[in-house]
Chain A
Amino acid sequence: MEQQSKQTDSKMKIRYFKPKEPDSKGGGKFSFTRNPENVIKERPVPEHKVEKWRKGEASWGRARTSFHTRKIEAKEEIYEKVAEKSARSELLRTEEPGVLEGDKTFQISQSDIKSQADESTQQKIFDLRLNQFGPYRIDYTRNGRHLLIGGAKGHVAAFDWQTKKLHCEINVMESVADIKWLHQETLFAVAQKKWVYVYDNQGIELHCLKHLDSVLRLEFLPYHFLLCSSSNKGYLSYLDVSIGKEVSGISTKQGRLDVMALNSQSAVIHLGHPNGTVSLWTPSLKEPAAKILCHTSGIRDIAIDPTGLYMATTSLDRRLKIFDLRTFRELSRYQYQFRQCPGLLDFSQKGLLALNRDNVVEVYKDITATSHKPKKPYLFHPCDKLVTDFMFCPFEDVLGIGHGLGFSSIVIPGAGEPNYDAYEANPFQSKSQRKQTEVRMLLDKVQPEMITLQTSIIDVDVETAKAREEERLKKKYLKPKKIDFTPRNKMKGGSSGAKIVQRKKGFQEQQTRTAIRNIVRNKQIDGKMDSRNKNRKGLQGSALDRLKKKNV
């Protein structure tokens, strides 16, 4: 009985093709028979799942005309569809983030993890003993597949760290301050003693960038193709590596710049200074876009989380602070004990924060959460020597550490994003895919002028637009005062009819210009006075007002 009902059910859902005889006019041979009740519909996605994918609030209500109301409604419908599709496609993202659960996770060492993990994970825990040229700076590519290490004494090596295949290994015969992959694993930049050099993945020197001298830190903006460098002399420079031109060079006048971090969402550069301030820079401004006083003593390091919302800073005052970058407010602070000075910082894709104290690396979980403060680190790893650099590997549960004795790779479960987007960064990309991606990236290169603190380019600044329009109209209908002007007589054809008219006209235009200038100037002064008066208490009301009649 049950089977029968199932059968009829499945029969109900099928749409039939009914072949038809062609009509006399030669019309269609086939037609759908479609019973609206039997049409197969997609199962609705649960509301709580869709909610996660909605960006911002839906605009509601009516616009000034029904035409525009309908337009907005149509747009909202599209946004809703996008959210629903995103929620529906969650099913296809099968990989799950790593988990480490136990009583005291900070007691679990890498050897414990190695003993329990599968074989491929075991291979991710390794040490490179390189005791001659250290300490090392490290960098992973955006897809997390390739690793670059640079020893302070000149040793530079690039390799695929998963297969352990070496791309190149060179000694630049100079001290190395920093290293950075450019947009792909084919190019990297090395900040050497004097200048910055660009090498390809075979270790061949391609460029020597002589206008970037005594650089201490390098950052790369992949969507803008900008190589940012901060130097010993307080010079911050943006170099477009696709055309080889310096887009912007800023003399920050803040002394040695050895603390630099990049906000990957807004492409704003954060610089830390010895007086405890953090300044935010964009290529189009010669002044910092914002300055935050974070600590009372020098900044040791800055890290910005991948969503671009939170900033972590450490300072010589033994404090770790978390800031909200939307409000520039401090969210929480952690005071370290005597002799424990927190140093370098890095955020993982899933929001874990790594931090070092001399030779120890601590990893914190949920540090940006406002509801509670983590009391103990999530994981804890001592190295043999002073740690000089570390970085979470994108799309992997791995933290790479560069230290005095070489490089260590450790596993931090839950650090990496499990589901990558192949159109942004693909760890499994083939050579042809890499080439194609490069072309795409170059075509979509974002202009450096578009880097601002306010990231949305879709919003219109209505107030400014209105003011500008008003100003324009005013100028259009401006009538200068009529002045009776007779040009002086000039000899030698200087007073021919055309010349006189010309001189008259020139004089009148001058009058118009001064009139416009006066108007603009007056407006500026008025605006200033208004804002000044607003802050003055005396103008708000007179003492004699109390004698006035009320409710007349």
Chain B
Amino acid sequence: MAAVVKKKQFSLKVLSRNPENYKRETKLDIHRAPINPEGYLHPFAIDREYQRALNATKLERVFAKPFLCGLEGHRDGIEALAKFPTRLSHVLSAASDGEIRLWNLATKRCVSSVLAHDGLVRGLCSHRSGNFFMSCGQDANIKFWACSEEGNITQEPIRTILNKQVYQGIDHHEHEDIFVTCGQSLDVWAGDRAQPFQSYTWGLDSMHHVKFNRIETHLVAVAADDRSIMLYDTRGGSGVQKLIMRMRSNAISWNPMQAFVFTAACDDYNLYTYDIRNLSIASNKHEDHIGAVMDVDYAPTGKEFATAGYDRAVRIFNAVEGHSRDVYTGKRMQRVNHILWSMDNKYILSGSDEMNIRLWKAKASEKLGVLKPRERTAFNTAETLKKMFKDHPEIKRISRHRHLPKLIHQQKAELREIKESQKRKESNRRFHSKPGSVPFIPDRKKQVVEVKE
């Protein structure tokens, strides 16, 4: 008897991939890469991202080589730096021996030079058109110089104004034919007149720094020797506001994107950002320098600014943060007196006591030159990852670490101790006094002595 074979009823489908669908057709094609975001196929996705962020942070520190070159040639300490708003590669510098030089940043060479003044050059500013610039010096002259497209300066000034007093600063109006000078008084000049058409004084002390606002173009900020910052409107007859601080401000820079914000570099090692609508309290206090801050310049984006310090360091601050994001020092760099942020937001120039102008990258680890699209994506991804994991302790430590000169390192620790002890003392005093008798005063308000209208 034959065995009865019962046919089993079932439907079958087995996974079988056709390699044609998964391999590239020709060698010129890119490889096919199907994606499946199913969670269990990607174990440790976050851990791996963290690792990538850590690597990116380390690489950033490895490639952080901000120094590009030194512009050598001056025979005395740098007294002033000026940029042309409409020319990217040209920069002006003036030295204590009265010489003015024009540099080409692309070739890193001095294009032309002129012995402009007898003695120190006090102030330097360029005209928006880029065709001429003006300087004032210790010899009490204001001189106008023309410069060609290639950057050649005329050897004789195209115009000279002789004065009785020495002017310490000069700045030109954004688009009108007006410029201001400061010294014993703040003088406003227009056209071809040999006399200022307006002259302001507020108190007896002389003024040493003046800056036009680039948006509200008639507004001028002046820093004076009596520890004050004054605001003037060149259309009005007298000053608008006067802010007296505990220590003198050395320089002022207006935020190029927010008309009502300026930052003052102060002698008390700090910078203060003010909103002119309320000067009684600074909107931010920027710490980190361990010496007087000599100069400050905003990036054209208004998001960052660079500072020059008497402590031989250049620092870069995020405009809304209290501490610097980066610090540049050099073994041979002496006290930095002047700083410029280039108009393409890529470079920083610093002029220091030892006759050198240094060219730095604004982002220390940035790759210069043209980026390929994939390169750019990789950098962007790294940037996002760093941002995502920035608060993790290891990443924070690496990204914050800077190898600083011993002096700065020690001084920083000392300052920190001083600050802590002051804080402790205040808290003890508060603890042992009648409640409310020792009020909390924010750090941003402590330096303000008085605001006059």
Contacts and interface: CB of A to CB of B under 8 A. Distances in A.
B23 interface: yes
A391 B286 CA distance: 62
Given A117-B12, A430-B31, A95 B44 contact: no
Interface in A322-341: none
Contact of B16 (A53, A118, A264, A456): A118
Interface in A439-466: 443-447, 450, 456-458
Interface in B16-40: 16-17, 19, 22-23, 31-40
Interface in A230-277: 264-265, 267
Contacts of A413: 12-15
Contacts of B442: none
B52 to A, nearest CB: 6
Interface in B415-453: 420, 424, 427
Contacts of A377: none
Contact of A116 (B12, B31, B42, B43): B12
A355 to B, nearest CB: 21
A425 B40 CA distance: 12
Contact of B10 (A108, A308, A450): A108
Contact of B15 (A102, A396, A425, A458): A396
A117 B13 CA distance: 8
A397 B8 contact: no
Interface in A468-511: 476-477
A298 interface: no
A102 B51 contact: no
A100 B10 contact: yes
A116 B8 CA distance: 11
A98 B15 contact: yes
A92 B33 CA distance: 12
B55 interface: yes
B48 interface: yes
B48 A223 contact: yes
Nearest to A121: B14
B200 interface: no
Nearest to A428: B22
B15 A397 contact: yes
A98 B17 CA distance: 11
B278 interface: no
B148 interface: no
Contacts of B424: 476-477
B260 interface: no
Contact of B9 (A102, A117, A267, A443): A102
Contacts of B427: 477
Interface of B: 8-17, 19, 22-23, 31-44, 46-48, 50-52, 55, 392, 420, 424, 427
23 contacts: A55-B39, A92-B34, A98-B14, A99-B13, A101-B10, A108-B8, A112-B8, A117-B12, A118-B14, A223-B43, A265-B40, A413-B14, A416-B15, A417-B38, A418-B15, A419-B36, A420-B34, A421-B35, A421-B36, A422-B33, A443-B51, A457-B392, A476-B424
Top 9 A-B residue pairs of the complex, sorted by shortest distance between their CB atoms: A102-B10, A422-B33, A421-B36, A86-B37, A98-B15, A99-B13, A428-B22, A444-B48, A121-B14
Given A86-B37, A92-B34, 5 more contacts: A96-B15, A100-B13, A112-B8, A396-B15, A413-B14
